[in-house]
Amino acid sequence: MKVPTLRVQWELQLPAYTTATAVADPSQICDLGWRLWQHQNLNPLSKGFDPPHQSDTRTIYIANRFPLNGLYTPQKFIDNRIISSKYTVWNFVPKNLFEQFRRVANFYFLIIFLVQLMIDTPTSPITSGLPLFFVITVTAIKQGYEDWLRHISDNEVNAAPVYVVRSGGLVKTRSRNIRVGDIVRVAKDEVFPADLVLLSSDRLDGSCHITTASLDGETNLKTHVAVPETAVLQTVANLDTLIAVIECQQPEADLYRFMGRMIITQQMEEIVRPLGPESLLLRGARLKNTKEIFGVAVYTGMETKMALNYKSKSQKRSAVEKSMNTFLIIYLIILISEAIISTILKYTWQAEEKWDEPWYNQKTEHQRNSSKVEYVFTDKTGTLTENEMQFRECSINGVKYQEMNGRLVSEGPTPDSLEGNSSYFSSISHLATSSSFRTSPENDTELIKEHDLFFKAVSLCHTVQISSVQTDGIGDGPWQSNFASSQLEYYASSPDEKALVEAAARFGIVFIGNSEETMEVKTLGKLERYKLLHILEFDSDRRRMSVIVQAPSGEKLLFAKGAESSILPQCIGGEIEKTRIHVDEFALKGLRTLCMAYRRFTSKEYEEIDRRLFEARTALQQREEKLADVFQFIEKDLILLGATAVEDKLQDKVRETIEALRMAGIKVWVLTGDKHETAVSVSLSCGHFHRTMNILELINQKSDSECAEKLRQLARRITEDHVIQHGLVVDGTSLSLALREHEKLFMEVCRNCSAVLCCRMAPLQKAKVIRLIKISPEKPITLAVGDGANDVSMIQEAHVGIGIMGKEGRQAARNSDYAIARFKFLSKLLFVHGHFYYIRIATLVQYFFYKNVCFITPQFLYQFYCLFSQQMFGNWTFGTLVFTVMVITVTAKMALETHFWTWINHLVTWGSILFYFIFSLFYGGILWPFLGSQNMYFVFIELLSSGSAWFAIILMVVTCLFLDIVKKVFDRQLHPTNIEKAQLTETNSSIKCLDSMCCFSEGETACASVGRMLERVIGRCSPTHVSRSWSASDPFYTNDRSILTLSTMDSSTC
């Protein structure tokens, strides 16, 4: 059916043609066309003049055939280079140093180093400068290497070979050389190098199929179509004759929105064609099931929708680092206080004449948040699911069936069955011989017709395409379940459709392809051709789709498919109540359900429908509203055929992982680009939503006021409903409105919900949601997990980014902080490695401040001895003794805080003390010619030769650590952690159950605990004395590390 077009003659932009401008009726021109009509006919200076680049639209001359008159000023567009790197050769050093010194710790040590350089201090600048230089250098090398890898990846993408139509031929060039307006050829399985408007394909109707897995996570095929005037231009020679202009909006990040028009010059006339999202091929998408296409580049490089949805990389600051910054400030205050006190007392000492002594002023020498996560944001497709649909069950005329081993099994006896045996059949032909269905010839025929019609509806009501068709022998005899995959390869925009068509093929109704306006199916080996008259496309308001076909007998049928809430109210016949019950049962199992119905048209009814559809589809104003009215008029008085149940296979242990996160107090949000129904179904099946949960919806909001009112209603419902848990579903459009002016209200609703599901989300919207949570007053720690390029923005925005190495490439893993193989490993990453790492880093930070306090405090106390003359241990022997005690003490303290020993721990711990002694002996035992003075010469050797010095060293080390040792001993005996209990079990193998069972009872006094400790020391505690076993009610302490043992102890072992 050919759609009429609006033809408007104008002054062509080439000198060879001069025609008068015909004034069209503005009431019949669409909004964009009306603006152009005003621009061309009301402004005499506008002929051949493009609006400036900062306007809301851009004008693109296809194949860059610009007008030759002198009034045209071409717009400037960026090139097609993609830049994901952060640095260049010229800005690496200043930019990297700036980012590193933004860290308080680095800046603090830089200040200390500069102070030591500028003034005479008792310590050498090397002590601060060398470690700082090492840290800065290593970090710069690491970040430079990572950015170098990004440069390599960018160069590979930008240097990819592409074919462009130029000067009447096909020219091979690099992707970075594509300009806006170039006609680009893309072959099957290639990635689109820029945002292209489809001109033609190898199909006569100008359609093609693409997959947008790297953009929105959906691996299903989507159909895009070219305008009819360019669809016939399938060769380079024909495209070279095309004279056309595209006017479209400026680039924006919304993947699902595109508005423009194409003005095509044919035979001295201009044909105006509207362009929408169905005409735009996005960069990053891949061409499938189509030999080749030609498209014109409208957005290039960093202005493509894919690039606009990428968030620029920024440095992340962990909670540990932020807390360490606070400690640094406190530590700095302590140092400043000590310096002020020393300075004041120094000048006080100097003012006293009786203390007038010479001064002695000789110069001498990335943390993670993974254990504190409060919010987890996860993608759905490929992260929670395998994105593999499998047909499981169906309901036909009130009888429920289940597929088992390629055969349908009824779950109960049919109404007329005398025996209660289940019925089995693997194809429609088996129905006639099935004992459970054998009642009477009339009933047999009716039953076969019902099942035949049901599976024909499944095979015809879809938008599935076939890659390769081999029909010889298909359907001849019983259908084998493994035959379809070897003969036919189905592609669909929805995985549900693909699973249903494959299921129908297994049961004898085989869809074998379509050609132009004909759909072909084989029913038990018999080829049948149905003429496709109309497709009533799916939309989120109707929540159903339909096809109108003409059967081989000439009868015109409508087959409808959709959610039960949209199909059942339109039905006037069939087993409605039984099917409703079956649908609820399917949903309780977490299956995705669809209902099937049909309607027969008389010739008069179809003529009326065809006329109304034609009028609605050719309307230039309010087309969507008119189509919705016509669809509602057609899809009524339906006869219900049944329902289908499809399972979206979840990844292994997804439900258990989400439940573990919820039990740990972590809120889980699912952010997906999928449709509302699909997302809700998967959330139910994976345990993100519970059946007992009150599901609230914020979808299809059209205005700010409407959105605000809906949010207030949801807030009231949460307050008034006596339900423990609520779940929230919000779509991308409504979310944009909510985040615009109602952030506080939206956050209030979200905080009161146990689970939140955001569907139809653009990649940049995912990052904005995470940003909103991050800047909320609670400042929670966020984690994002995804597997595709569309998840990169949210992975980079979250405090912790997790990339899953799945089917959609490695882009998410490359841009993440951690990479895992499956979603189930998230629990171990958080609860085991995150927990352990946080303990380690917290211990390290505390030890860092402990060491520095130990280094500064002796110097501060010595100032009282030297009357604050800023001397650093004027007696070198005394100073060496103090520092020797300090080194041994802080190293022994580190050994006390070590909970798991390896050879590396032993080497570093005891090697540090050994290195100190060897270096001091070596440094003080030789006269170095390049040193001006050696105050340390022979001091250390003399010190170690004194027995009193050794006694003093041992006494002071033991005194400093005595309280730490006593505390640890008593804590281990009186309040042991679970891992310490397990260690006792291993060391006391002669006692099968923990000897501490008689020593760790609850509710007893400390004296009793001490008494049992003494009993155990002298060996009097034995299993025979045990009157209480260890149970799960034993207290769990915050410093407990038993989670890493991964082996639980229960009371049954005792």
> Which residues are identified as catalytic?
379
Residue 248: name the closest of 486, 513, 32 by CA: 32
The encoded tokens of residue 938 equal: 């022979």
Alpha-carbon dihedral angle through residues 764, 765, 771, 777, given to the nearest 10 degrees = 170
Please name which of 20, 119, 87 lies closest in space to residue 870, comparing C-alpha atoms: 119
- The answer to whether 822 touches 355, Cβ cutoff 8 Å, is no
* Host H or E run for residue 172: strand 169-174
Helix axis angle for 319-351 and 104-118, nearest 10°, is 30
The neighbour count for residue 903, using CB atoms within 10 Å, is 7
Which of 206, 78, 309, 302 has the alpha carbon at shortest distance from 793?
A: 309
Burial classification of residue 515, based on how many CB atoms lie within 10 Å of its CB (0-12 exposed, 13-18 middle, 19 or more buried)? exposed
Report the candidate in 806, 772, 773 with the shortest Cα–Cα distance to residue 789: 806
> Can you tell me the distance from the alpha carbon of 643 to that of 528, in angstroms, rounded to the nearest whole number?
24
Residues 6+ apart with CB under 8 A from 143: 86, 87, 96
Q: What are phi and psi of 669, to 5 degrees?
A: -115, 135
Three-state SS at 490: strand
181 neighbors 60 (Cβ within 8 angstroms): yes
CA angle 1008, 1012, 1015 (to 5 degrees): 140
Q: Which two tokens stand for residue 573?
A: 């016949």
Output the CA angle 285-286-288, nearest 5 degrees: 140
Burial classification of residue 840, based on how many CB atoms lie within 10 Å of its CB (0-12 exposed, 13-18 middle, 19 or more buried): middle
Sign of CA dihedral 920, 925, 926, 927: positive
Distance CA 701, CA 529 (A): 43
CA separation for the pair 521, 43 (Å, rounded): 58
Closest CA to 561 of 389, 394, 429: 394
Distinct helix (H) and strand (E) counts, the chain? 32, 36
What does the alpha-carbon distance between residue 685 and residue 691 come to, in Å, rounded to a whole number? 10
| CA proximity to 808, closest of 386, 451, 396, 522 | 386
How far from chain centre, in Å, is Cα 148? Answer: 24
Distances (CA, A) of 315 to 82, 86, 799: 21, 11, 10
Token pair, residue 40, equals 């061309």
**Cα–Cα distance measured from residue 695 to residue 749, given in angstroms and rounded to the nearest whole number:** 12
Asked if residue 468 lies in contact with residue 484, where contact means CB atoms within 8 angstroms, the answer is no
- Percent composition of the chain: helix, strand, coil (DSSP 3-state, to 5): 45, 20, 35
- The one-letter amino acid code at 56 reads D
Q: What is the CA radius of gyration of the chain?
A: 38
Identity of residue 569: P
| Closest residue by Cα to residue 635 from 548, 762, 759, 512 | 548
User: Hey, how many other C-beta atoms are within 10 angstroms of the C-beta on 277?
Assistant: 14
CA nearest neighbour of 214 among 808, 757, 706, 767: 808
